[in-house]
Chain A
Amino acid sequence: QSVLTQPPSVSGAPGQTITISCTGSSSNIGAGYDVHWYQQLPGTAPKFLIYGNSNRPSGVPDRFSGSKSGTSASLAITGLQAEDEADYYCQSYDSSLTVFGGGTKLTVL
């Protein structure tokens, strides 16, 4: 049972927009800790995608965006592409401990 809750799966057709939620509580996201996101392509290590709720590292397409409100955060992917099919993880802090969401599998139909 992860401290941060993500939907197990989402899907969308190419070109569409999807969002992945990351729901926490008053001890983590709601306490003011930022949320970071990672993309894990099949059989590979996680890749750094979003930091500080909404900031993209260099090289990450602007199709990826993040937001945070209250005790939740979201990752949005616009203009969905086949290569976006992957697992996505949110990450934050809880009582000074690094915690991850359980992950969301994105399927591009």
Chain B
Amino acid sequence: QVQLQESGPGLVKPSQTLSLTCTVSGGSISSGNYYWSWIRQHPGKGLEWIGYIYDSGSTYYNPSLKSRVTISIDTSKNQFSLKLSSVTAADTAVYYCAREVEYCGGDCSSYFDYWGQGTLVTVSS
């Protein structure tokens, strides 16, 4: 059973960089069949996809956040990480890491089959 667990500071000051790590257990992050993603949920709101990384290190980000986002991977530790720079109160959210699976029924898309429990990050001075 694959499990994902987010970790990192729950409080970040405005203008600083939010940093989170997702540790994957029960499976290898290097299996080559999956993307490793970050998704966030503003309080009381819906889900927003942030971006993903492949085990090769290739990344793809949501254009709305692309200028501030960096996702990296450490296959030796079975972890991947999120950095979001220049944060404001609008970045206060629960951040989830998830495993993303490519699916080609019609045109190829993907879905998220395993999720971390989520971690609340508050941006405040």
Contacts and interface: CB of A to CB of B under 8 A. Distances in A.
Interface of A: 2, 31-34, 36, 38, 44-48, 51-53, 57, 89, 91-93, 97-103
A52 B114 CA distance: 16
A53 B104 CA distance: 11
A47 B113 CA distance: 8
A91 B41 CA distance: 14
B116 A33 contact: no
A89 B41 CA distance: 12
B46 A102 contact: yes
Contacts of A98: 49, 62, 100, 109-110
Contact of A48 (B46, B49, B112, B117): B112
A52 B110 contact: no
B49 A97 contact: yes
Interface in B51-82: 62-63
B48 A33 contact: no
A19 to B, nearest CB: 19
Contacts of B115: 45-48
A49 B114 CA distance: 11
Given A46-B47, A91-B111, 13 more contacts: A33-B107, A34-B106, A36-B103, A45-B96, A45-B115, A45-B118, A47-B115, A48-B112, A48-B114, A51-B103, A53-B105, A89-B46, A98-B109
